[in-house]
Structure 1
Amino acid sequence: MNRTERAAAAVAVVVLPWGALTACSDGGGGGTTGGEDVTLTLAHSYTEDQPQHACGAQVIKEEAEAAGVGLTIEIYPDSQLGGDADRIASVQAGDVDIDIQGASALAAVYEPAGVVDAAFGFDDAAHLNQFFTDGSADQLVQDFKDASGGVSILGAWSAGARQFTANTAIREPSDLEGLRMRFPGSGQYLLNAQALGAEATDVAYEELYLALQQGVVDGQENPLTNIDATNLVEVQDVLSMSSHQQNSNLIVAAPSYDDLSDEQRAALDDAVASAVEQMPGCVEEAEQKILEGWEADGAIEIVDDVDRDAFAQQTDAWFRENLEGDSLAVYEAMRDSAP
């Protein structure tokens, strides 16, 4: 058995779906108080050194357990329970209780959810947070729950803005002309490439360093924490601080979330809200440390004068012309919610 299979087998042995456990506590049905003790699995694809674990998953675990309502959360980081595409199916089936997913991965279940990852869809991390807390995202959350068979979106945060790297500076849309830029192969990222005016090349994340080193692609885009984790500054000359997309994480819960007691749901909701509140500072601290290290070492040229307005105007016009139906409605709701 490989690591993923061993982890999944362990979960199957020691953790029952929470719906089954809570049903034993209240005579059959959710929305009650005083539920029995429940053990929940929380999965994500990040390492334990990244903010999504330290300030996200770990905070959710600690605060939900500290509420004293019978919740225990077992965290499985680093894709131990499968990649993003596999895990959202596991959440739908109730085999994974809570998951931290990028919006583009959720598009496999409900395509308009991917629009949350639209380039310049949000002005900044605070705008993304506001969208999911002030009621602007309520229609998206409900439509996703209906389309997914009952999966709930409990909250969302930005895990950092995505930035361009290449061997030349990218200050305005025309600077992307002629560059083979690596974008993830999922639908919304490829739409982003078109909207930004980039020539997208699909390279697996694990192969990106080698592809840049060998000249298969000329540049790429990722959050600073990912650029640092994969040492891309060793094979790129210029970091252009475009902040063209907020790297979204949505916290989703299996349908049996509705079977938790009122107290348990409230405790879990509060724990997620606390993680959402802490994440921006955690990400900012991590990114500042990375930038200071690169500047001190001269590891890469850092370009701060990117014309973000030019990019934002171009992408906005493109999305309004090319998105349709519910996807366009999500995009318009995002833009309408801008401070």
Structure 2
Amino acid sequence: MRGAGAGLLLGPLASPPLRAATEPLRLSMGSPMPQGHPATTCLAAALDAIRAESDGRIDITLYPDSQLGSELSMQSQLRSGAIAFSLTSASSLQTLAPIAGIPGVAYAFSGYVPLWDALDRGPLSERIRDALKGFGLRAFRIVDNGFRDVITSVRPIATPADLRGLKIRVPPSPLLTSLFRALGASPTTINLAETYTALQTRVADGMENSLPQIEATRVYEVQTYLSRTGHSWDGLWILAHGRTWDALPADARALIGRHFDDAVERQRQAFVQMNTQSEARLRAKGLVVNAPDQAPFRAALAASGYYTEWKGRFGPQVWNALEHHTGPLGA
């Protein structure tokens, strides 16, 4: 039995510039997220629903776990149109459109209510989307990859001093690199798919990420200490190659967009539930867990000039848009 939108797709999908109706529209989507991450499972379900509702005429294949390369490689593929869609972290997008990384400013958001208010609507969200549009990308909603913590093999992180000299894996994010350098660590960019081996062989002493990501990558097998620093938030934008997206018929765009929105809602709910349960599961796997006071970390960053630097780099208008949701930063 056809879904409600399938009949609408028969005519438009046969018209230029798309293929004849006898051929399905085959598109690719890249993602750095592992198979077990809620972003992967919820998006896979959405693509199945799109495929079913269109009677197979829209066939989007998801390639998770960095199968299509690093995030920066997938950005290039998306911008060239080699792939039609991607799931791309805000932190790595900062290297393309600097404003895209602003949700990851250290200790900016106190929780999800101000975060989603900032990123789902309003001037900050509009500025980010417009910046990505300038690079030929169409941004949908952003999925949750959580507030980030530190996991290490050498020592727990109880104070900023414990980070000094620590070789820590970070994504290709200027904000995160700047954050850890300001606290005396030695951040290094390593592809997520290669992080387990890097930690196992001590190329890096630790990594920072959300608890579900720590679980999904299984790095707990080669690390000892989990410190709930909550130093930064990161999410992943669902992006489309702009010209490919604009070439789709309106009803096809509506169908895809509706299921992407539904996937984001399910993912956010699943992520919160998974995050709530993750600490207990990681303790059961042998990790030593501590929850340091965040105030000394914020104070150390303020004293280092971190907030002043990033206010200058983003510009006062963008920074004011951020502080509208977060309150004053670096005071």
TM-score range normalised by the length of the shorter chain: 0.7 to 0.9
C-alpha contact 1:125 1:280 (8 A) present in aligned 2: no
Aligned amino acid, residue 245 of structure 1: S
User: Which residue of structure 2 lines up, in the alignment, with residue 284 of structure 1?
Assistant: 272
Aligned amino acid, residue 143 of structure 1: A
Number of equivalenced pairs = 307
User: Which residue of structure 2 lines up, in the alignment, with residue 13 of structure 1?
Assistant: none
Q: 1:159 aligns with which of 145, 155, 165?
A: 145
Gaps of 5+ in 1: 1-20, 30-35
Q: 2:263 aligns with which of 269, 272, 275?
A: 275
SS of 1:190's partner is helix
CA distance in 2, matches of 1:249, 1:164: 19
Cα distance change on mapping 1:251 and 1:336 into 2, 3 Å: same
C-alpha contact 1:152 1:254 (8 A) present in aligned 2: yes
CA distance in 2, matches of 1:264, 1:175: 52
TM-score by length of 2: 0.78
1:106 partnered with 2:126: no
CA distance in 2, matches of 1:300, 1:106: 31
Q: Which moved more, 1:183-192 or 1:89-98?
A: 183-192
User: Which residue of structure 1 lines up, in the alignment, with residue 65 of structure 2?
Assistant: 78
1:143 partnered with 2:116: no
Cα distance change on mapping 1:121 and 1:271 into 2, 3 Å: farther
CA distance in 2, matches of 1:92, 1:334: 27
SS of 1:337's partner is helix
Q: CA RMSD in A?
A: 3.3
What percentage of aligned pairs have identical amino acids?
24
User: Which residue of structure 2 lines up, in the alignment, with residue 265 of structure 1?
Assistant: 253
Deviations along 1:50-91, whole A, 9 cap, x unmatched?
222102x21331343455495332222222323211211111
TM-score by length of 1: 0.76
Cα distance change on mapping 1:291 and 1:184 into 2, 3 Å: same
Aligned amino acid, residue 271 of structure 2: V
| Post-superposition offset of 1:259 | 2.3
Deviations along 1:121-177, whole A, 9 cap, x unmatched?
33334443322212231012112211x1x2111111222221112343323334334
1:200 partnered with 2:186: yes
CA distance in 1, matches of 2:49, 2:254: 11
Deviations along 1:175-207, whole A, 9 cap, x unmatched?
334544343454232112134x13124263566
CA distance in 1, matches of 2:14, 2:218: 50
C-alpha contact 1:51 1:282 (8 A) present in aligned 2: yes
Which structure 2 residues correspond to residues 1-339 of structure 1 after superposition, within 5 A?
25=15, 38-55=25-42, 57-65=43-51, 67-68=53-54, 70-135=57-122, 136-146=124-134, 148=135, 150-166=136-152, 167-195=154-182, 197-202=183-188, 204=190, 205=192, 208-209=195-196, 212=199, 217-255=204-242, 256-297=244-285, 299-304=286-291, 306-312=292-298, 314-315=300-301, 318-323=305-310, 324-326=312-314, 329-338=317-326
